[in-house]
Structure 1
Amino acid sequence: MLDANLTQQLQTYLGNLKTPIELVASLGDDAKSTDTRALLHEIAALSDKVSVLETGTNARKPSFDIRRADDHAAAVTFAGLPLGHEFTSLVLALLWAGGHPPKVDDEIIEQIRQLGGDFDFEMYFSLSCHNCPDVVQALTLMAIFNPRVKATLIEGGAYQDEVERRDVMAVPAVFLNGEVFANGRMDVKEILAKVDTGAAARAAEKLAAKDVFEVLVVGGGPAGAAAAIYTARKGFSTGIAAERLGGQVMDTMGIENLISVTYTEGPKLAAALANHVAEYDIDVMDLQKATQLIPATGPGGIHEIVFDNGASLKARSLILTTGARWRQLGVPGEDEYKNKGVAYCPNCDGPLYRGKRVGVIGGGNSGVEAAIDLANIVGHVTLIEFDSQLRADAVLVDKLKSFPNVEIITSAQTTEVTGDGTRMNGLAYKDRNTDAEHTIALDGVFVQIGLVPNTEWLKGSGVELTPHGEIIVDARGGTNLPGVFAAGDVTTVPYKQIVIAMGEGSKAALSAFDYIIRTEPAEQIAQAAQEAAQIAAE
């Protein structure tokens, strides 16, 4: 099951096991069970601390538990083979069950151990989903470190009937105690924030105790990370407050245009950004969603950012890097059938539509690339473009047209996502040349129509925005407010690219540095004026 390279890597990793572990298999007579048996015995052959027991009683076959030999409650269950993007998750599960410490803050481990209540998680993943490993690993961590947490991690392709019966139409999909819990990428902090009722209050209390920063970066994507690194290197007290470090990069698959890096993937780049940030004295505050900016009353004053938990942070200078998100169609049925046929990540969710009919909306590079990827998996792809022609690069359009199972419809305005109340079943669109109305029967649709800036929270703050919501910045990354700078996809800078965001973040940081050294804090100015007045009075 494993090639020579993976075998060597795994053997090296298993050398870190501190206590014996057991792989308890529940197997049938099918081919997938045969593959699972082979994988488990290959793993056991690499370490004398690993044993295989084919005595499992799980109704899902094939499946296997990874458990500590001396503590069977420290366990996690995989149903199907966790290979592909999940091979790392498999390795970590083996190591954590075997006593190797996770690279997670002790505070997080203690929060897991202190969880009250019983939690039975079931999570569906696909082997091509780059958003799934974070969730798989988070639930694995929780199951191994808290005996009242159970986690069953299910490869959807191996349990297609179950996926359809439970209406799982997007991954990662998480159920808790039999009920829908969450869809989409989540890390362990985000999951804990949902199940630990006191987490929000504790986070707010910690924020409230922070001193005033010299520079506060709001947003944690490439622009935010670059900005924070640059200001920290200047010796300024720097904080990053973000919903998640990595930003939209976490949802990106292949990256081939980051100069000097031939190829990488979004989650890998996000991890590299986090590691680089960690090299400096930067206060990273994640899971923080900004809701309001209260600007200083003048140059040298203190700006304040309010968050959705009610807490706030203050800083002499701000760098806004809140990025952008996938643009929605804004038609009836889209919200109703989100994750029930309406999807935004073809790499993640494409395998769930194997052999079925799907649509892609958007004829730019991302839309055409999505259609090409899907054409290799699904039964049929219909690409719908509002314009009279596709806007993607010619080489991509030619590739798309080479597939016999692809239909391209141009000059089409999507008007509705239709469904039966449980899942979507088609699209309605209007021919922009004739005004004729049409419907297409589809099992799923992937929306790829560009980005919208995350600036709703800035309305009324005084920060000048374009009609499209982008922050207006000058050549130095400055906004119309003194001491407030912005960078990345959230701004008017053209071409929303990772490498550009990094450069713009660095530039905004240098501008913030220049602003701070040239502008005395308002309280110092007031104090100096008061001292001058006292001297004059004497």
Structure 2
Amino acid sequence: MLDSNLKEQLKAYFAKISQPVALLASVDDSAKSQEMLDLLRDIEGLSDHITLSVTNDDARTPSFAIARTGTDIAVRFAGLPMGHEFNSLILALLQVGGHPSKEEQAVLDQIAALDGDLVFETYFSLSCQNCPDVVQALNLMATVNPRIKHVAIDGGLFPAEVDARKIMAVPAVYLNGEPFAQGRMGLEQILEKVDTGAASRAAAQLAEKAPFEVLVVGGGPAGAAAAIYAARKGIRTGLAAERLGGQVLDTMGIENFISVLHTEGPKLGAALEQHVKAYDVDIMKAQRAEALIPATEPGGLIGVQMAGGAVLQARSVILSTGARWRTMNVPGEDEYRNKGVAFCPHCDGPFFKGKRVAVVGGGNSGVEAAIDLAGIVAHVTLIEFDSQLRADAVLQSKLRSLPNVEIVTSAQTTEVLGNGEKVTGLTYKDRVSGDLRSVALEGVFVQIGLVPNTEWLKGALALSPRGEIEIDMKGQTSVPGVFAAGDATTTPYKQIIIAMGEGSKAALSAFDYLIRTPVPARAAAE
């Protein structure tokens, strides 16, 4: 099943396995079971530490456990972990096989100290770029703490379970049989939910940190670039973010990142994190800013209050909080989120195979979503508010060539309809005639642009009518010592490469501010 080149690469990786690993397969006579066995046999042949046996000890077939022989440490995959989950499989083999994780020791100690029996189930789709982060985090937890169990389930192979649990979006995580979380989560966020004292301990640790010379708030392309440029100046740099990589993690194909012909958001996000970690940057993950506290005197310390209550201080601050998907703000949208209302066609599209869906939005992302979905679903209705689509001509041409796509322009979505459990349709207003019309469908994919993550800054500095942080050509905001970069600002053209340039510029401007602004005598004495 694996080609010779890949086998050679994996053989080199598996040389790092130091503990005996048993692959325990549960199979039936289906083609998928045979395919899974072929994969496991290939893997067994790549390391003397790996053995395969058919045990049929699990109710889900096809599935297999990866177990450390002679211990209670194991993880399980139900289905065939290919596509985006292939890396999850390789990491699980290495970690169960004794290869140490790169996570900080304090995090590993926190996992090991968790008390109680925790059984996690994660439903994923092979096309979901958000799922591996969750699967890999929970797999790691299971290899560190034997009282934690995790099974990653390919929803496409177990439709009865998906239907019974009314899952319409991935990743969907269950803990001890009950819903636990939906959507992308990092290890720190998972630990915060299961470790009730984690938030207060994290807040106490933040409060004890000495002031930074540059504090970057936000971990996307702009924030990562700002942190790298600041750290290269040899000054004390901190980066606080909900997740490193930011919204780029939710992006599938990237083909306009100059010098890189093609990459994917999660890969770029991981590269950003590794680049930041290569410098002396104090990285504070799973941290959400809630208030900006300007300095009380020129050159004084600026405060950023975090969600846990702690206040981080710095002589200069770079805001790079990015943006999030804009919502329609119509009745039914929130009620049916993850019950038919979705934002990621790559992640959730497979759950609508053979069904009728709508895409709201006629820009590039909306048209791309409609094209992708048309290859999976029975029919796509694309709804655009404007009188014409706004996507690039080449995308429009491709869309119009598809036989199962209908394009509706001059249409204002007014409501998402449902039966209490899932979406059944939507209504829109014909902006020409004024008539209200209904469309029967089972999914609505919202693709209407971005809204900046700046609500917490209202009243603290100048924002545009769209909520963007107003900056000058150097990235300076209306507050001295506070700079901003990326999609949260008034900089036009929200692109990854532009955000990186703006983040770099903001860091250079912050450094220039620091060397030209005297430290107040009182602060210097402290």
Q: Which runs of 4+ in 1 moved over 6 A?
A: 525-528
Match of 2:436 in 1: 437
Structure-to-structure mapping, 1:11-410, within 5 angstroms: 11-71=11-71, 73-410=72-409
User: How far did residue 525 of structure 1 move?
Assistant: 8.3
What secondary structure, in the 3-state scheme, does the structure 2 residue paired with 1:491 have? coil
| Secondary structure of the corresponding residue to residue 158 of structure 2 | helix
Whole-Å separation in 2 of the counterparts to 1:81 and 1:244 = 28
Q: Which amino acid letter does the alignment assign opposite residue 473 of structure 1?
A: I
Q: CA deviation at 1:526?
A: 8.8
Q: CA deviation at 1:4?
A: 2.4
Q: Distance in 2 between matches of 1:286 and 1:23?
A: 34
Number of equivalent positions: 526
Q: Which moved more, 1:184-193 or 1:360-369?
A: 184-193
Which of the pair has more CA radius of gyration? 1
Query: Aligned partners of 2:161, 2:356: CA distance in 1, in Å?
Result: 20
Q: Distance in 1 between matches of 2:98 and 2:334?
A: 44
8 Å Cα contact 1:427/1:441 also seen in 2 = yes
Identity, % of aligned positions: 65
Amino acid at match of 1:376: G
Q: Which residue of 1 aligns with 2:480?
A: 482
CA deviation map 1:194-222 (0-9, x unaligned): 10011101101110111111111111111
State TM-score, norm by structure 1: 0.96
Determine the C-alpha separation between the residues in 2 that align with 1:7 and 1:518: 57
Please state whether the residue corresponding to 1:291 is helix, strand or coil: strand
Q: Structure 1 unaligned segments of length 5 or more: list them.
A: 529-538
Q: CA deviation at 1:467?
A: 1.4
Q: Is the Cα contact below 8 Å between 1:298 and 1:482 reproduced in 2?
A: no
The C-alpha deviation readout for 1:344-387, integer Å capped at 9, x for no partner, is 01111111111111111000000000111111111111111001
Gaps in structure 2 of 5+ consecutive residues: none
CA apart distance, 1:274: 1.0
Deviations 1:263-295 (A, max 9, x none): 111111111111111121111111110000110
Deviation at 1:338, TM superposition (A): 0.6
Cα separation, 2, equivalents of 1:228 and 1:345 = 29
Aligned to 2:505: 507
Deviations 1:236-276 (A, max 9, x none): 11101111111111111111111111111111111111111
Show the counterpart of 1:465: 463
Query: In structure 2, how many angstroms separate the alpha carbons of the residues matched to 1:507 and 1:26?
Result: 55
What secondary structure, in the 3-state scheme, does the structure 2 residue paired with 1:355 have? coil
Deviation at 1:110, TM superposition (A): 1.1
Cα distance in 2 for partners of 1:2, 1:383 equals 39
The alignment's TM-score, normalised by the length of structure 2, stands at: 0.98
Shift of 1:43: 1.2
The DSSP-based 3-state class of the residue aligned with 1:277 is helix
Alignment equivalent of 1:492, drawn from 465, 490, 493: 490
Q: Does 1:9 align with 2:9?
A: yes
Distance (whole Å) between structure 1 residues aligned to residue 312 and residue 113 of structure 2: 28
1:318-344 CA-partner distances (Å, limit 9, x unpaired): 111001000001001111111111110
Letter in structure 2 aligned against 1:496: K
> In 2, Cα distance between the equivalents of 1:155 and 1:5?
26
CA distance in 2 between counterparts of 1:345 and 1:179 reads 24
CA RMSD of aligned residues (A): 1.3
Q: How far is 1:6 from its partner?
A: 2.3
**Alignment partners' CA distance in 1, 2:424 and 2:9:** 45
CA-to-partner distance for each residue in 1:80-109, whole Å, 9 max, x for gaps? 000111111101111111111112111111
Q: Distance in 2 between matches of 1:483 and 1:46?
A: 56
Q: Which amino acid aligns with 1:189?
A: E
Give the secondary-structure state (helix, strand or coil) at the position aligned to 2:73. strand
Partner SS state of residue 297, structure 1: coil
Q: What's the CA shift for 1:443? A: 1.1
How far does the alpha carbon of each residue in 1:41-97 deviate from its partner, in whole angstroms, 9 at most, with x for none? 1211222211111113211111111101121x1001110000111111101111111
